[in-house]
Structure 1
């Protein structure tokens, strides 16, 4: 049985239970001479029918709303896991990628980036500046892709020659985009 249906049925059962408890309390305090079974089923006062109906309706509404909220939450969790898996697949591809803060610190990088620029994973426990990791011709200049992004550009693409971990110069296509919602 689905969880939302279980919650809905539980709310109905709880509403009925509260109605029985209400009847028992009425029997103890307001109708001590009457029969408990009579107050519960056969000889129910008018206002008690109203109160029990309101209680039952409130619990049913609570069960319905709770089951809808839980169903929506589960759907959102599934979508979030799908989005997370998609982002991980994009991030962990063969192209060297890194996420750099506004302070030029590399916040995250994939294995291809670490292999291309000779950085060890232990070095990424402490913040490292992008210009220390992969120094290039535009570093610390107005033409730096991050500086251009900070000035409001939507995307910056340029070629950059950088030395790999063996000291051999390689030409890379650098594409920088703002990572919004971060």
Structure 2
């Protein structure tokens, strides 16, 4: 096999067309409440961020994004304030819209994994649990993350989250110092 460094180096020199061509050879199909990765389909994250975490603004942006057909992959908010109370308010807003219209998607607030775990344990509606990650222990420490936290997130997701499939974690990579 190839090392992660080689894969990363090749990806950096590829054009978008190269990446699409390569991805066709190895489809990755995953299911939470919706299924993504099916060949010939396209899924998108709806990102209704607000500079003040104002839930009325977030709700309005969700409605607007859904009107364009965006949000089937996830409705994910990047919060300004990373605390349990704020995350709970934002998750309540996301799931208020999802539940009102029975939308087959999943919600997420992209805060630190420990804050999300605590909000869900206190009763906030859980969808996908997010964390930025990287490929080294040193890098994870930069994010304030340990593998045990991710194991705990999976356990909390399996117990509390409103996900129909087995995938309850949402990771993004390559966005930090490592």
> TM-score by structure 2 length?
0.26
Normalized per residue, the structure richer in helix is 1
Q: Which entry has the higher C-alpha Rg, 1 or 2? A: 1
The TM-score normalised by the length of structure 1 is 0.25
